[in-house]
């Protein structure tokens, strides 16, 4: 059994503030430790049910958050800033299941530290009339390779987002949102136990969970925070400026749209 773990930091229990997720800030080192431990819990669960290969992708920021010296040695770590595969670097059809650890809800909902790919650039992403965030886009990339997402950890607002897409996907709610910068959190030991146990069950049942697919071709509309960002992003081949701060892109596959989104964010950031 080959397992892919995609790990972010904002959805880790105990993390509720910006200074906890930015390198150089006061509480960042502690957050790295908590993130690594939650990932280790998922690895432990996977190993317990016979996983023979586990790949972890550190996707937050520059991708240098997980402490490799503390990572369970049954896994391999993808670290650094990827330009092609982005948050799903290294995933292909050889994997049997995907687990998302430490994820957060999309921008413009009341989840803890909610955003969509880049909090200073993207206000909204819409696919065929559905507002989506990182969970949906990354799950659709997994679906492109016919690999199911079987478990997602994060806050209760993210859980609603996940269940709206596929109720069969299990969730571990590590904290209950009290707004963008506050939450009622489970203690780490409780979180680890829940992730270990649910990952065991969900990986065993992976064949019964359908991969998430998006209609192809499809229309993606990206709303930026300002018109300058949208104007810059619209130079992307295939993109069209459709409003003062909105760009439309027609994707033949989700991989087309995913890479276009990644490129437009990088272009818009420079504005």
Separation between Cα atoms, residue 90 and residue 87, nearest integer Å: 9
Which one of 83, 115, 144, 218 is the catalytic residue? 115
Looking at residue 29, what DSSP letter applies? H
Chain position carrying tokens 């939450």: 183
Query: pLDDT by residue (tens digit) across 129-165?
Result: 999 999 999 999 999 999 999 999 999 999 999 999 9
108 and 42 in a common domain: yes
Active site residue 83: no
Burial label for 192, CB within 10 Å (0-12, 13-18, 19+), is buried
Tell whether 122 is covered by a domain.
no
Instruction: Give the CATH number of the domain where residue 257 resides.
Output: 3.30.1360.130
Cα separations (Å) of 164 from 25, 48, 160, 161?
A: 35, 30, 6, 5
Count of domains in the chain? Answer: 2
85 and 176 in a common domain: yes
150 and 18 in a common domain: yes
258 and 148 in a common domain: no
pLDDT of residue 201: 92
**Apex 129 CA angle, 224 and 181, nearest 5:** 50
pLDDT of residue 85: 81
Residues placed in the known binding site for Zn(2+)? 8, 10, 60, 104, 134
Range of the domain at 236: 218-269
Across the beta sheet with 246-251, the strand order is: 130-132, 122-127, 218-224, 246-251, 239-243
Chain position carrying tokens 């330009």: 83
Tell whether 120 is covered by a domain.
no
Radius of gyration of the chain (CA): 18
Global confidence as pTM: 0.95
Among 208, 243, 259, which residue terminates a domain?
208
List per-block mean pLDDT (blocks of 10 residues) for the chain, which spans 271 residues.
Answer: 97 97 95 98 97 96 96 97 84 97 96 95 96 97 97 98 96 97 98 97 93 94 97 95 96 94 92 70
pLDDT of residue 102: 98
Among 161, 181, 208, which residue terminates a domain?
208
Residues placed in the known binding site? 8, 10, 60, 104, 134
The 10 Å Cβ neighbour count of residue 64 is 14
């Amino acid at each position: 059994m080959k397992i892919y773990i995609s790990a972010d930091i904002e959805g880790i229990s105990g993390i509720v503030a910006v200074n906890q997720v930015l390198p150089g800030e006061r509480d960042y080192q502690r957050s790295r430790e908590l993130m690594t431990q939650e990932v280790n819990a998922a690895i432990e669960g996977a190993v317990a049910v016979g996983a023979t290969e586990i790949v972890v992708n550190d996707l937050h920021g520059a991708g240098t958050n997980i402490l490799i010296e503390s990572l369970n040695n049954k896994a391999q770590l993808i670290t650094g800033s990827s330009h092609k595969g982005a948050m799903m670097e290294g995933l292909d059809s050889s994997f049997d299941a995907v687990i998302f650890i430490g994820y957060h809800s999309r921008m413009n909902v009341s989840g803890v530290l909610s955003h969509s790919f880049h909090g200073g650039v993207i206000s909204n992403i819409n696919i065929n009339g559905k507002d989506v965030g990182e969970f949906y886009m990354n799950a659709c990339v997994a679906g492109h390779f016919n690999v199911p997402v079987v478990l997602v950890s994060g806050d209760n607002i993210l859980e609603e987002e996940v269940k709206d897409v596929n109720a069969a996907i299990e969730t571990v709610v590590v904290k209950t949102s009290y707004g963008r910068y506050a939450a009622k959190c489970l203690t780490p030991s409780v979180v680890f136990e829940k992730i270990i146990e649910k990952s065991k069950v969900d990986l065993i049942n992976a064949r019964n969970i359908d991969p998430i697919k998006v209609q192809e071709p499809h229309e993606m509309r990206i709303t930026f925070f300002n018109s300058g960002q949208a104007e810059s992003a619209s130079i992307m081949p295939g993109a069209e400026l459709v409003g003062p701060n909105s760009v439309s892109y027609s994707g033949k596959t989700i991989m087309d749209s995913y890479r276009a989104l990644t490129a437009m964010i990088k272009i818009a950031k420079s504005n």
